[in-house]
Structure 1
Amino acid sequence: MDHKILETTRELIDEVGYSALTVDQVATRAGVGKAAIYRRYASKAEMAFVATVHEQQLPPPADTGSLHGDLLALVRTFHARMATPAARQLAPALISELAGNPELDTRFQDTFLATEQAAFAGIIEQAVARGELAGPVDPAMAHLLLLGSLASALYLLSLPVDDTMLTDLATAATAGITALATRHHSAPDGDRHGC
């Protein structure tokens, strides 16, 4: 049933656009009740987000052998999801809905963002274990450095994002994360922040 709901949501976004999409349309075409949809998703925006951008389970982080390689693999995965026409339609609506709905915002933080930050935590742990980082850094900061920059490029600045830019974003995030780890783990105990 989950697959059918998400597949139908993607089809309808392609056909009518996100703004014209309704939960009723999805329920009718998928052959499910609206209650079944609302048991899974708190809103149309959440349902569309899962269908087009971000399932709640992400593949495990790649272990390419370097922090830069791991971050590049991750940003390429997210770019493939975030750059679709459906995601470009959805992102502004979702941001608006999150701003006006604290319950949805909390759910979004506790599910999707927590999953993404767990992926960053895994990448950081691998880099620390390899000796690339002086110690761990806050996964939320790593998330902001890489995926926050990608989201800004795609949704706010409307920049043409190609693989060269993705490589540059991974390089900048690698440098930032490395600098944070060095600063946080070489400073006196009283000066450490964000670890």
Structure 2
Amino acid sequence: MPARKQALNQGGRPRDSRVDDAIASAVLVLLAEVGYARLTMDEVAARAGVGKAAIYRRHASKQEMIFDVLVSGQFLSVAPDLGSLRADLAAVLAEVADSMASPPPGTVPGLLADIHADPALRDRFDAKYLGAQRRTLTEILDRAAARGELPTRPDPAVLNALLVGPVFAWLYLLSESPDQLPALTSALLDSALALIRR
């Protein structure tokens, strides 16, 4: 069966990456211009130059659209292997901090509030974002234990909270500058490593 015909049979017309790119670009521009709460599907469609149907074929809601744009499919898809526990955790923390600091102000808190109000979206967030972090941290900790850097492997969920919680608090509870994140994450790594090596 020709590839195009097969694609049609498996779910309609083949996805056009140019439409995906136009939607993603429109979402990012509008988040910066009008903010998370005021962004609408109509505005995204108009800015992207596509019909709303094209958006709804890809995303069931505004929240899912923004989540898919902000959390790419490649988020922490491969655990870094830089030769030491600290270097590996530093690479993970840098990617996590960037994913929190990059969106325009107000986006992450607003999206998280909507995610926690929608069980289906919460499940997707857990699988695609938190799940990626936990899998990567588990692999890093297992490798560190095998190298003899850790006496026992700590709980990846606890380490996840130790690393991510302070970054979230810094950016969204204390409203501090993202420019200071490198100094914060360095201190976080020192503290987290001291705790998990006990």
Establish whether residue 166 from structure 1 lines up as the match of residue 185 from structure 2.
yes
Establish whether residue 55 from structure 1 lines up as the match of residue 68 from structure 2.
no
Partner in structure 1 of residue 28 of structure 2: 10
Name the aligned partner's letter for residue 159 of structure 1.
E
Distance 2:84 2:148 in 1: 10
Name the aligned partner's letter for residue 152 of structure 1.
A
Unpaired runs of 5+ in structure 2?
A: 1-18
Partner in structure 2 of residue 144 of structure 1: 161
Distance 1:120 1:43 in 2: 31
Query: CA RMSD for the aligned pairs?
Result: 2.2
Secondary structure of the corresponding residue to residue 39 of structure 2: coil
Unpaired runs of 5+ in structure 1?
A: 180-195
Q: Please tell me whether the aligned partners of residues 56 and 112 of structure 1 are also in contact (alpha carbons under 8 angstroms).
A: no
1:146 Cα deviation from its structure 2 partner: 0.5
Bigger radius of gyration among the two: 2
1:35 Cα deviation from its structure 2 partner: 4.0
Partner in structure 2 of residue 131 of structure 1: 148
Distance 1:37 1:173 in 2: 42
Q: Please tell me whether the aligned partners of residues 36 and 106 of structure 2 are also in contact (alpha carbons under 8 angstroms).
A: yes
Establish whether residue 72 from structure 1 lines up as the match of residue 90 from structure 2.
yes
**TM-score relative to the length of structure 2:** 0.77
Partner in structure 1 of residue 5 of structure 2: none
Q: Indicate how the Cα distance of structure 1 residues 92 and 67 shifts in structure 2: closer, same or farther if over 3 A, else same.
A: same
Partner in structure 2 of residue 34 of structure 1: 52
Partner in structure 2 of residue 190 of structure 1: none
Q: Indicate how the Cα distance of structure 1 residues 57 and 85 shifts in structure 2: closer, same or farther if over 3 A, else same.
A: closer
Residues 8-55 of structure 1: CA deviation (Å, up to 9, x unaligned): 211121222222211222123323343443444343233223334x21
Secondary structure of the corresponding residue to residue 162 of structure 1: helix
Residues 91-136 of structure 1: CA deviation (Å, up to 9, x unaligned): 2211221232222212211222111222212221221222112333
Name the aligned partner's letter for residue 186 of structure 2.
T
Distance 1:98 1:177 in 2: 30
Structure 1 residues 121-130 or 30-39, which shifts more? 30-39
Secondary structure of the corresponding residue to residue 18 of structure 1: coil
